[in-house]
Amino acid sequence: MSNAGTAQSTITGKLFKLDGSASSDADSDALTYQWTLASKPATSAATLASPNVAKPEFTADVPGNYVFSLIVNDGKADSAPASVTVTVALATWRDADCSTDGTQLPACTMDFSDNNSLVGLDPGANALVLETLASTSLAATKSYHTGITGNRAILGTEILHGVKLSEFAGFSFKSKDDGTGPNTGAGFPYVNYSISKECNGTGWANLITNLSDMSPTGPDADGYYTYTADISAGSKAWKSSHWDNAIYATDGTTVVLMPNKTATGGSLQALIQAYPNACIYNWPNPDAKVPLATTTPAVMLMLGSSKNLTAKKAWFKDIKIGDKVVF
């Protein structure tokens, strides 16, 4: 008799083991196992590893329900199938395994750098390195991710996708550059959030927390300054011009989002109050001219700026999403 185990739950990206070891045979004959993935979310490309063992491994790639079927055979006949449903939730920064062995980028991050800019590692300093490159002319092709020409080193992460701004504790890091202090010209570090007003992909906008909004402290004994992009009262948001519909709200005295990309916006806390469903959302920049199914990282730590042609280099460590250490 086949036994596929009891219904369970897990998160995307996490290795999961099914368990058919409770299957049995009336004559105590040895059993062979045949698992199949009977159904899964339409957009999932997940497969079942080693389907002929009692406890096969599985990693879900998208949230939803995954139904597995198990048939056992005692050498004489197949059993009736048994099934089990595994409910998968989207992993967030609270769940992510950001471990790294020091020879590659953290497991929950990606290099989305534009136009030959670099993201790498400096093992001697135990730090990530972001570096923009000097150029005599702007790259002819716009960035696939941002639709912007220029040199920008971008460390991105998608694990914040779907997290409401009201539930996000912020982003912090330590950094030093190859100059004498925090870089105040083109190329300083900043944090970019892609957001959706209703957390469904509509009302797309860029929010950028600049160095001046993060009020860096330091340096410490190793020359690092500490930056905090805190989504709270007092934090500021720079607005790109990409709302689906131009909507401007106020908290009574402060304009939450200014009408064009040249002005500084109001506090992120005021934005949250105006749009309580607003969340961090993976969404392509419309200027990039890519299919909507193609996503950019929800949050990006950047060095460099639009049309920046200056070589910049900075070291980063103690990068945190909320209280989760990324690197």
Q: What is the pLDDT at residue 66?
A: 96
pTM for the model stands at 0.69
Residue 20 CA to residue 14 CA, distance in Å, equals 19
CB atoms within 10 A of CB 196: 21
- Reported as a pLDDT band with limits 50, 70 and 90, residue 242 is very low
- Asked if pLDDT for residue 196 goes beyond 60, the answer is yes
The mean per-residue pLDDT over the stretch 274-278 comes to 82
Contacts of residue 229, Cβ cutoff 8 Å, sequence gap at least 6:
170, 171, 172, 191, 209, 213, 214, 235
The mean per-residue pLDDT over the stretch 180-193 comes to 68
Q: What is the pLDDT at residue 262?
A: 41
Q: Which residue has the higher pLDDT, 263 or 192?
A: 192
Tokens of 39: 């159904």
Q: What angle do CA 17, 10, 276 make, to 5 degrees?
A: 170
Residue 317 CA to residue 226 CA, distance in Å, equals 10
- Asked if pLDDT for residue 284 goes beyond 70, the answer is no
Q: Parallel, antiparallel, or unpaired for β 8-11 and 82-89?
A: parallel
**Residues 145/282, Cβ–Cβ less than 8 Å:** no
The mean per-residue pLDDT over the stretch 286-293 comes to 55
**Could you read off the pLDDT of 259-268 as tens digits, one per residue?**
444 444 556 6
Provide the percentage of residues in the chain whose pLDDT is more than 90: 20
Nearest to 212 by CA among 133, 155, 265, 269: 265
201-218: buried (b, 16+ CB within 10 Å) or exposed (e) per residue? eebbbbbbbbbebbebeb
- Asked if pLDDT for residue 159 goes beyond 50, the answer is yes
Contacts of residue 262, Cβ cutoff 8 Å, sequence gap at least 6:
none
Q: 314: exposed, middle or buried (C-beta count within 10 Å: 0-12, 13-18, 19+)?
A: buried
The mean per-residue pLDDT over the stretch 118-143 comes to 77
Residue 155 CA to residue 147 CA, distance in Å, equals 17
The mean per-residue pLDDT over the stretch 105-116 comes to 79
Q: What is the pLDDT at residue 34?
A: 95
Distances (CA, A) of 92 to 89, 96, 153: 9, 6, 24
Nearest to 51 by CA among 68, 64, 66: 68
- Reported as a pLDDT band with limits 50, 70 and 90, residue 35 is very high
Residue 87 CA to residue 269 CA, distance in Å, equals 33
Tell me the H-state helices in 200-246. 211-214
The mean per-residue pLDDT over the stretch 277-297 comes to 67
Amino acid at 134: A
**Residues 36/50, Cβ–Cβ less than 8 Å:** no
Q: What is the pLDDT at residue 250?
A: 44
Q: 274: exposed, middle or buried (C-beta count within 10 Å: 0-12, 13-18, 19+)?
A: middle
Contacts of residue 179, Cβ cutoff 8 Å, sequence gap at least 6:
none
